[in-house]
Amino acid sequence: MSTVPASIPVLQWAASRAWLSDTELKKRFRKWPLWLKGEASPTLKQLEDFAKLTHTPFGYFFLPEPPEVTLPVPDFRTHRDNHLREPSTALLDTIYLCQQRQEWFREYALMQGLQPLRFVGSATLSDNPDAVAARMRQELSLSVDERQALPTWTEALRQLIAKAEEAGVLVMASSIVESNNHRKLDTQEFRGFALTDNVAPLIFLNAADSKAAQMFTLAHELAHIWLAESGLSNPEAGLLPEQQIERWCNRVAAELLVPHEKLHDVHNLHNPGITVDKEIQRLARFFKVSTLVVLRRLFEAELIDRATMNQCYQKELDHILSPEGRKSTGGDFYRTLGARTGKRFARAILSSTLEGHTLFRDAFRLLGVQKSATFYKAAHELGVMP
């Protein structure tokens, strides 16, 4: 059987971008180690399968060196080791899909006569973060007391997403690429991103993260929208990013979720017998945020010292990253569809398609569905049709 002289550097690059180990690839392609040594070459069918597996254009394998692939949005991520690997195909495909959805919704919004959103770009880095958070809280009609009454972090996140969408922001959350359960998104690579636009601002949340972490990411990305600064983020409440934009957005997010005045009103740290650990857990449940957010806010409010914060930080981080801290309840597929695409976007494209303004083919692609039955069931579940 004839073989194809695939470029070894591109083979290695494609495997790395798809986060596939040599062990995994050897199970799929027995001669994978020999391909890398140049002692064997893949057949045409094997190379096609490899291209599909790694989501790499077939023609790339005939280039002498890998092409340079850059992110289509500014990169504001901060990693402890300061090493940012090349963006994965999963991340890139997710950004591209969200850009396509945003472009579609922008055209739809203009056809519907929707007006530009006044809060997009209404803030600058010179503005006081607490003051901006107060304006955001008013624009989104957020109430700490209302959120505190909700039974779970899931309900609190769902409420914050709904408030953002009611204000005009498209919010999408998924742990996979499109609807492909085999292509998972990694929180170590990114937690979210914002695509700013004055009529169709969009936020994407990596739903592989905990609900409490997603709360902070959403608040952080909303601050990006207020700045009109698109970007990819990996916000972590307990760390101080080097980039000024990320530091500012973190401060706004923390104040938005845990207002300074409210924290002073409800904390019990001055009471004898109350340990910091127990109070952190109680306040996290009260505000429906991550314990890392509470830790940071207690330190900023001078209710705990730096030594105490540092002592508690790693303990809380280890718990959050543990299986127990990450467990999720899952959910109904059609509710998940609404979350993956955002209910605001899903209802708009379902309505447009049913009215004959959008092709079913385009709607299926942007929604990530493959069957008409799924489309109509989603339309029913999301209230677009009876």
- Output the CA angle 63-66-71, nearest 5 degrees: 135
> Domain range holding 128?
89-258
- Asked whether residue 106 falls in the same domain as residue 233, the answer is yes
- Asked whether residue 133 falls in the same domain as residue 228, the answer is yes
- Asked whether residue 13 falls in the same domain as residue 49, the answer is yes
- Asked whether residue 56 falls in the same domain as residue 123, the answer is no
C-beta separation of 6 from 62 below 8 A: yes
- Asked whether residue 53 falls in the same domain as residue 130, the answer is no
Can you give the pLDDT at residue 82? Answer: 45
CA 93 to mean position of chain CA atoms: 13
Can you give the pLDDT at residue 312? Answer: 86
- Asked whether residue 115 falls in the same domain as residue 199, the answer is yes
Whether residue 275 lies inside any domain: the answer is no
C-beta separation of 177 from 94 below 8 A: yes
CA atoms within 13 A on the CB side of 308: 17
E strands, the chain, in order: 170-174, 176-177, 180-184, 192-195, 202-206, 231-233
- Asked whether residue 236 falls in the same domain as residue 136, the answer is yes
The end-to-end CA distance of the chain, in Å, is 57
Whether residue 181 lies inside any domain: the answer is yes
- Asked whether residue 127 falls in the same domain as residue 190, the answer is yes
Whether residue 367 lies inside any domain: the answer is yes
- Asked whether residue 133 falls in the same domain as residue 231, the answer is yes
For residue 137, give both structure tokens. Answer: 């809280």
- Asked whether residue 226 falls in the same domain as residue 337, the answer is no
Give me the long-range contacts of 347-353 (CB less than 8 A, separation at least 24): 347/382, 347/383, 347/384, 348/105, 348/108, 349/104, 349/105, 349/108, 350/375, 350/378, 350/379, 350/382, 350/384, 350/385, 351/384, 352/108
Whether residue 271 lies inside any domain: the answer is no
Burial class, 350, CB count within 10 angstroms (exposed 0-12 / middle 13-18 / buried 19+):
buried
The bridge status of strand 170-174 relative to strand 202-206 is: parallel
Backbone angles phi, psi at 305, to 5 degrees: -90, 175
CA 254 to mean position of chain CA atoms: 17
CA distance 222 to 24: 39
Whether residue 100 lies inside any domain: the answer is yes
| Per-residue pLDDT of the chain in tens (386 residues, 90 and over written 9) | 688 899 999 999 999 988 889 999 999 999 999 999 999 999 999 999 999 999 999 999 999 999 988 888 988 886 544 445 688 899 999 999 999 999 999 999 999 999 999 999 999 999 999 999 999 999 999 999 999 999 988 899 999 999 999 999 999 999 999 888 888 999 889 999 999 999 999 999 999 988 888 999 999 999 999 999 999 988 876 566 778 899 999 999 999 999 999 999 999 888 877 888 899 999 999 999 988 899 989 988 889 888 888 888 878 777 766 666 555 544 556 567 888 999 999 999 999 999 999 999 999 999 999 899 999 999 999 999 98
In 3D, which of 72, 76, 44, 57 has the Cα closest to residue 17?
57
Whether residue 354 lies inside any domain: the answer is yes
- Asked whether residue 184 falls in the same domain as residue 252, the answer is yes
**What type of residue is 225?**
I
Longest CA–CA span in the chain (Å) reads 79
Q: How many structural domains are present in the chain? A: 3
Can you give the pLDDT at residue 333? Answer: 60
Whether residue 34 lies inside any domain: the answer is yes
